[in-house]
């Protein structure tokens, strides 16, 4: 080999690499920006979580009698709240008071706590853990999230400490729950202070009984089941690995099916065939999506088999968890399959596609790593963050701590983002200059918009607008929690996040207010039908929905308190709970959203706007009735071509609810049994509802005008 020739080739390739701006951005600029920003983000999040954790109180149940000095040491920390005998079963309390339960011995230094479930060990729980009854009871009360930790001063604790002996105390906490783990730290520190003070009083004396050099023996017991501890470990690392590996297959296929075909010259052949752009993008998208989905399936199956081999039988992750994990990867692969395909279409060749897709893939990797933070959990705020929401939901699935409402927010927002990505990809594949590589346009130029003259907003703008409103509403609610005036908060939400955003969008885009918001007059017949629907729709829908998805009593009471706005007058309630939502929400859902979705057909407009309407009301228990009522209102909007019937229906429906909750008539309390509307009332309401739906149907001329 001639080394000089090799060096010449090396010099040539390096010069071409350094001259390529996109390569420099991917190799140099992007890492220099992303990693410091990511480190700063993690540190800020960690500091914020710690500050939030330190600001919260630790509710501690005390199952026994503490000495005044120990109780004073615990109370010195103003964040520790003591609740004597809180949540203790009667039988266990009698056993503790009689002293029939042996206090746990602290494990030797360097050895873990004894466990009844060890691989290859057949010892019983009673032999390994003499305080098994206390562990199980403490586990139940901590799992209910009413108490963070339990302190058990065992029988004779006060007497032993007072007489100079050794008093035994147990601290029971859940290491998986961060608040409980932090409560254990607070308790341990407080008991350490109490021990130091006790030793000071014993110093200088002689002939004291054995144990005076210790004073207090505090043993911490982790009540978290072994399954939850395994789930915490898996939930910390597995979401990141599964998501990254699943998307890697789509990453490569998207680059090859766009930029790779440009290099091979097959893209031109495909475009010369009698095919529509939507047919091409659909076929390519389905290919990338299926490849990503197969990659996800293989990863989940491999993980399941590996865990079954490594973990003992009693700690094996249930198959249902793996199935649910794979199901949650579907919206992620859907989103990024469309996004990868659209971005890669702008590349000139395969190398250029890799440079373009790297800035998309790296943030995914960094976001998925956030699941490893101790305080990072699925919440109302994180449930609307693309990709991170699914990663945190997978983490919650492994922990066995899943909230139905947060599942709804996560899947709903992920579906909206996936629809946006697919619309973006479809728009890219409509541009032959981009697909052939002959255009000079960039992604930035492609995303720019021009003012239109009248008409309704585009489908992409509509979906993007709702996604932005949804995210802003969730994050604004975090800051709004400090607002004590619920009436002002409700009106501010309606006007600021339902009414103003679509108005601003129309002002910026130049779309027609009259066409978008369907500001059309309707006949008296349609108005009368809307009144009938408003009077009957809520009862008819609730009679069925409350049997399909029973509403918990606690949720119903909480909703009632929220709607009553801390005891406002009846007229204020009508304004804030009935009239304002009827106008503002109809402008958004049956005006802005319905008009944009109607470009994809009436079925998409009806179903899409109804689901978004249900999602925006923020509860799994309200999703079915709210979405169904939204479908009925959407039908009236479609048939009449006007938003007016929807406003009437919405106002009457909410006004009836406000009136009933405010007056609480005696007949209602006797009629409503088991939190369900009687069948006879539902049947009557359904009959009136059908009559109203027949009346709102406009003649053919109105439907032609709508089209």
- pLDDT tens, position by position, 552-569: 666 677 777 777 777 788
> Which of these three, 224, 259, 275, is where a domain ends?
224
* Range among 189-198, 628-637, 668-677 rated most confident: 628-637
The pLDDT value given to residue 477: 62
CA-to-CA separations, 196 to 151, 153, 155, 189, 216, in angstroms, rounded: 19, 18, 22, 11, 10
Percent composition of the chain: helix, strand, coil (DSSP 3-state, to 5)? 70, 5, 25
How much is the average pLDDT of 520-533?
91
Q: DSSP secondary-structure letter at 315?
A: G
Q: How far is residue 278's CA from residue 429's CA, in Å, rounded to a whole number?
A: 7
Q: What is the pLDDT of residue 636?
A: 93
Domain assignment present for residue 307? The answer is yes
Whether 431 has a pLDDT exceeding 60, the answer reads: yes
| Number of domains into which the chain is organized | 4
Q: How far apart are CA 358 and CA 352, in angstroms?
A: 10
Task: Specify whether 263 is located in the same domain as 305.
Answer: yes
Asked if residue 558 and residue 436 are part of one domain, the reply reads: no
Q: Are residues 20 and 90 in the same domain?
A: no
Q: Is residue 117 part of a domain?
A: no
Inter-residue contact 546 to 677 (CB < 8 Å): yes
Could you tell me if 434 and 469 lie in one domain? no
pLDDT higher for 498 or 6? 498
Residues forming a β-bridge with 167: 216
| Domain span holding position 97 | 56-106+125-224
Q: Domain check: are 65 and 132 in the same one?
A: yes
At 675, phi and psi to the nearest 5?
60, 35
Same domain assignment for residues 33 and 94: no
pLDDT, tens digit, 9 for 90 and up, residues 222-259: 777 777 777 777 777 788 788 888 887 788 788 888 77
Domain boundary, last residue among 191, 224, 257: 224
Asked whether residue 349 falls in the same domain as residue 460, the answer is no
| Residue 119 belongs to a domain | no
Does residue 700 sit within a domain? Answer: yes
Parallel, antiparallel or unpaired: strands 149-153 and 58-62: parallel
pLDDT of amino acid 15: 76
150 shares its domain with 209: yes
Question: Cα(141)–Cα(388) distance, rounded to whole angstroms?
Answer: 30
Residue 120: inside a domain, yes or no?
Answer: no
386 plus 261 within the same structural domain = yes
pLDDT of residue 214: 65
348-358 tens-digit pLDDT: 777 777 777 77
Same domain, 156 and 289: no
Q: Is residue 129 part of a domain?
A: yes
Query: Highest mean pLDDT range out of 121-135, 225-239, 570-584, 665-679?
Result: 570-584
Q: What is the mean pLDDT of residues 67-93?
A: 88
- How far apart CA 283 and CA 293 sit, in angstroms, is 15
Q: What are phi and psi of 61, to 5 degrees?
A: -85, 135
pLDDT at position 687 is: 92
- Residue 111 structure tokens: 């050895």
**Quick one: which of 456, 467, 457 has its CA closest to 497?**
467
Q: At which of 417, 448, 479 does a domain end?
A: 448
CATH no. for residue 153? Answer: 3.40.1710
The pLDDT assigned to 688 comes to 92
In angstroms, the CA 339 to CA 640 distance is 38
CB 573: neighbour CB atoms within 10 A? 23
CA distance 82 to 76: 12
C-alpha atoms less than 13 angstroms from C-alpha of 449 in its C-beta half-sphere: 14
Q: Is residue 113 part of a domain?
A: no
Contact 231, 398 (CB under 8 A): yes
Shared domain for 256 and 377, answered yes or no, is: yes
Would 116 be classed as within a structural domain?
Answer: no
Give per-residue burial for 580-615: e unless 16+ CB within 10 Å, then b: bbbbbbbbbbbbbbbbbbbeeebeebbbbbbbbbbb
Same domain, 383 and 239: yes
Q: What is the pLDDT of residue 432?
A: 65
Residue 210 pLDDT level (bands cut at 50, 70, 90): low
């Amino acid at each position: 080999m001639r080394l000089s020739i090799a060096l010449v080739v090396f010099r040539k390739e390096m010069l071409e690499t350094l001259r390529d701006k996109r390569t420099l951005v991917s190799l140099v600029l992007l890492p220099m920006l992303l990693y410091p920003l990511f480190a700063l983000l993690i540190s800020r999040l960690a500091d914020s979580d710690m500050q939030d954790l330190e600001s919260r109180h630790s509710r501690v149940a005390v199952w026994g009698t503490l000495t005044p000095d120990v109780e004073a040491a615990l109370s010195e920390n103003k964040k520790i709240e003591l609740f004597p005998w809180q949540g203790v079963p009667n039988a266990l309390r009698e056993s503790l008071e009689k002293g029939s339960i042996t206090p746990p011995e602290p494990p030797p230094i360097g050895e873990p706590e004894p466990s009844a479930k060890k691989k290859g060990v057949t010892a019983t729980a009673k032999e390994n853990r003499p305080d098994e009854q206390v562990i199980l009871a403490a586990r139940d009360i901590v799992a209910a999230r009413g108490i963070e930790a339990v302190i058990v001063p065992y029988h004779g604790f006060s007497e032993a400490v007072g007489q100079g002996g050794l008093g035994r105390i147990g601290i029971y906490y859940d290491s998986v729950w961060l608040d409980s783990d932090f409560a254990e730290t607070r308790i341990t520190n407080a008991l350490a202070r109490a021990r130091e003070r006790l030793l000071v009083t014993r110093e200088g004396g002689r002939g004291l009984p054995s144990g005076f050099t210790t004073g207090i023996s505090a043993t911490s017991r982790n009540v978290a089941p072994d399954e939850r501890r395994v789930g915490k470990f898996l939930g910390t690392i597995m979401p990141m690995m599964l998501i990254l590996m699943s998307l890697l297959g789509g990453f490569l296929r998207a680059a090859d099916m766009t930029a790779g075909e440009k290099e091979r010259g097959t893209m031109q052949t495909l475009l010369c065939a009698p095919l529509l752009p939507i047919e091409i993008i659909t076929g390519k998208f389905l290919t990338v999506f299926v490849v990503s989905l197969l990659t996800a399936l293989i990863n989940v199956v491999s993980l399941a088999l590996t865990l079954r081999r490594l973990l003992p039988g009693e700690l094996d992750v249930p198959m249902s968890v793996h199935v649910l994990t794979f199901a949650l990867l579907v919206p992620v692969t859907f989103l990024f399959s469309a996004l990868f395909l659209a971005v890669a279409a702008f590349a000139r060749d395969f190398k250029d596609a890799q440079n373009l897709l790297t800035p998309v893939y790296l943030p995914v990797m960094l976001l998925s790593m956030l699941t490893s933070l101790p305080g990072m959990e699925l919440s109302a705020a994180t449930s609307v963050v693309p990709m991170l929401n699914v990663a945190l939901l997978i983490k919650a699935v492994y922990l066995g701590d899943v909230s139905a409402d947060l599942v709804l927010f996560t899947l709903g927002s992920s579906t909206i983002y996936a629809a946006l990505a697919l619309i973006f990809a479809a728009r890219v594949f409509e541009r032959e200059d981009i697909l052939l590589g002959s255009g000079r346009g960039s992604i930035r130029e492609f995303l720019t918009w021009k003012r239109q003259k009248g008409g309704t907003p585009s489908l992409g703008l509509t979906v993007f607008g709702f996604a932005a409103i949804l995210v802003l509403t969730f994050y604004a609610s975090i800051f709004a929690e400090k607002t004590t005036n619920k009436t002002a908060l409700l009106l501010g939400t309606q006007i600021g996040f339902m009414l103003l955003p679509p108005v601003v969008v129309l002002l910026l885009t130049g779309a027609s207010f009259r066409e978008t918001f369907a500001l059309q007059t309707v006949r008296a017949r349609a108005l009368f039908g809307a009144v009938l629907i408003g009077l009957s729709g809520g009862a008819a829908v609730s009679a069925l929905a409350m049997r399909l998805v029973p509403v918990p009593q606690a949720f119903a009471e909480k909703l009632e308190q929220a709607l009553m706005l801390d005891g406002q007058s009846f007229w204020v309630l009508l304004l804030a709970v009935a009239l304002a939502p009827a106008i503002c929400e109809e402008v958004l859902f049956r005006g802005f959203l319905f008009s944009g979705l109607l470009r994809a057909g009436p079925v998409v407009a009806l179903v899409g706007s109804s689901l978004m309407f249900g999602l925006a009301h923020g509860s799994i228990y309200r999703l079915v009735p709210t979405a169904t009522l939204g479908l009925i209102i959407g039908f009236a909007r479609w048939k009449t071509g006007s938003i007016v019937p929807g406003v009437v229906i919405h106002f009457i429906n909410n006004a009836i609810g406000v009136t009933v909750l405010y007056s609480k008539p005696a007949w209602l309390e006797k009629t409503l049994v088991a939190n369900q509307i009687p069948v006879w009332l539902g049947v009557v309401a359904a009959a009136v509802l059908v009559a109203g739906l027949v009346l709102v149907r406009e003649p053919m001329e109105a439907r032609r005008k709508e089209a």
